[in-house]
């Protein structure tokens, strides 16, 4: 028996989940928010109850110290020795990492080099890794990458039709993200279908604040909607998804914004927020649409129609599809988005039952039994994938 902690460090936050392994039972979970600001918030669940404390936590090092000492103070563990492994989510593994890896000093150096590709995310992940390393230097730590699962994409999928030397010289290519989630739901779908993943063609729709679609053939990602960065693909909560690249200089000229400022608009003020004009949260949009708000209805249509198109495109790409999977906040909970995405797909063998589509937040098939293509809701679990990789590589 051992305890493994899965960590997801962001620029001002640190999420954690402590697992008993190999049983995969969740002992506790929580998060630290507003790191580096005043009134930082530490939340941890103890016996199903949330405990919250507010204090100033200036850096990730202190956040880790507080988290670990709380585990002891609250009687969740008796000593740090009980923690036998740490798993860190790392956003970008570039072309170097096609799987999770035991973290060494050399790996940390490589992650620093990769920060050029993910300047918003990798530095925060590295700060989290270093903070744990300082406090628990002898506990093995593993990096689990968002990009790794998509490293199986063939060149025809990952290459942009740009001068080839841009790929060679600068690493400009599609990397894809949410890989840990797409991998988890594809493996789980195979279990639920009772068929080996090697025999399946799956389309996985990870629909949260960030959203991406993946074509998974024989257990391997062969294409995905996100690209060089997580800005590409379908419309998202605040991200535009794919747009005509010529719009960037055009918007710069019209608005007087710099390239960075336009990028900020594409990342933070577009997508569902941009189209609706009032919220990036799908629940707000759904209730406003029910009350007749036209822009909210439009945001729903824009969001769902892009996903619908990707499904057709990826079915063509794999010469068919065995199952379509919905996961993450919207995919797991929103029957209205699922209904719009699946609408009219009977031509390609997707027959789904509106009564089954009412499900929220749990595993369920939405298809009629005779449907050639199955439709499955699977709550994602990136944390358990991280804990499994720690178990595999470090214990
Ligand atoms: P993140 O990418 O931040 O992890 P999540 O996977 O938590 O995001 O998804 C957040 C999105 O899920 C939000 O748009 C939220 O409105 C939506 N969502 C969560 N619960 C529901 C629900 N019951 N019905 C509709 N949408 C929901």
Confidence of residue 41 (pLDDT cuts 50, 70, 90): very high
Q: How far apart are CA 148 and CA 340, in angstroms?
A: 31
Confidence of residue 34 (pLDDT cuts 50, 70, 90): very high
Nearest ligand 1 atom, CA 286: 25
Q: Yes or no: say if 286 and 336 are a contact pair by the CB < 8 Å rule.
A: yes
The answer on pLDDT for 157 being more than 90 is yes
> What is the pLDDT at residue 1?
74
Active site members: 146
Percent of the chain at pLDDT > 90 equals 95
Protein residue whose Cα sits closest to atom 22 of ligand 1: 333
> What is the pLDDT at residue 382?
96
Ligand 1 centre and the CA of 334: distance in Å? Answer: 8
Confidence of residue 46 (pLDDT cuts 50, 70, 90): confident
Least-confidence region, from 37-41, 190-194, 254-258, 291-295: 37-41
Confidence of residue 154 (pLDDT cuts 50, 70, 90): very high
Ligand 1 centre and the CA of 336: distance in Å? Answer: 13
Residues with a CB atom less than 6 Å from ligand 1: 208-210, 237, 281-283, 286, 328-330, 333-334, 360
- pTM for the structure as a whole: 0.95
Tens digits of per-residue pLDDT, 105-122? 999 999 999 999 888 889
């Amino acid at each position: 028996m051992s305890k493994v902690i899965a960590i997801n460090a962001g620029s001002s936050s640190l999420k954690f989940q402590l697992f008993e392994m190999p049983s995969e039972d969740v002992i506790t979970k929580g998060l630290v928010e507003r790191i580096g600001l005043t009134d930082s918030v530490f939340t941890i669940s103890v016996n199903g109850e949330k405990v919250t404390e507010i204090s100033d936590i200036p850096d990730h090092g202190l956040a880790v110290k507080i988290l670990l000492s709380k585990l002891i103070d609250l009687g969740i563990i008796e000593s740090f020795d009980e923690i036998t492994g740490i798993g860190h989510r790392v956003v970008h593994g570039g072309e170097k990492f096609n799987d999770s890896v035991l973290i060494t000093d050399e790996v940390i150096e490589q992650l620093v080099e990769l920060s050029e590709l993910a300047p918003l995310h990798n530095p925060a992940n590295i700060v989290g890794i270093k903070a744990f390393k300082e406090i628990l230097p002898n506990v093995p730590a593993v990096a689990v990458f968002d990009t790794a699962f998509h490293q199986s994409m063939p060149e025809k999928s990952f290459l942009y039709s740009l001068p080839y030397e841009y790929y060679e010289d600068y690493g400009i290519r599609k990397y894809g993200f949410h890989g840990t989630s797409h991998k988890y739901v594809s493996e789980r779908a195979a279990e639920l279908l009772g068929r080996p993943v090697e025999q399946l063609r799956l389309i996985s729709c990870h629909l949260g604040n960030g959203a991406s679609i993946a074509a998974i053939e024989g257990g391997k990602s062969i294409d995905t909607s996100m690209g060089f960065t997580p800005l590409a693909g379908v419309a998202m909560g605040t991200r535009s998804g794919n747009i005509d690249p010529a719009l960037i200089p055009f918007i710069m000229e019209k608005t007087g914004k710099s390239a960075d400022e336009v990028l900020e608009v594409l990342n933070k003020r577009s997508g569902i927020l941009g189209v609706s004009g009032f919220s990036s949260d799908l629940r707000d949009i759904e209730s406003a649409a029910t009350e007749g708000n036209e822009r909210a209805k439009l945001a729903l249509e824009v969001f769902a129609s892009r996903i619908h198109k990707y499904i057709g495109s990826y079915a063509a790409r794999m010469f068919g599809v065995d199952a379509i999977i919905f996961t993450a906040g919207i995919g797991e909970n929103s029957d209205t988005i699922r209904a719009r995405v699946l609408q009219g797909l009977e031509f390609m063998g997707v027959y789904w039952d509106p009564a089954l589509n009412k499900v929220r937040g749990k595993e369920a098939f939405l298809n009629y039994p005779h449907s050639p293509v199955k439709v499955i809701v699977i709550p994602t679990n990136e944390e358990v994938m991280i804990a499994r990789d720690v178990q595999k590589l470090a214990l």
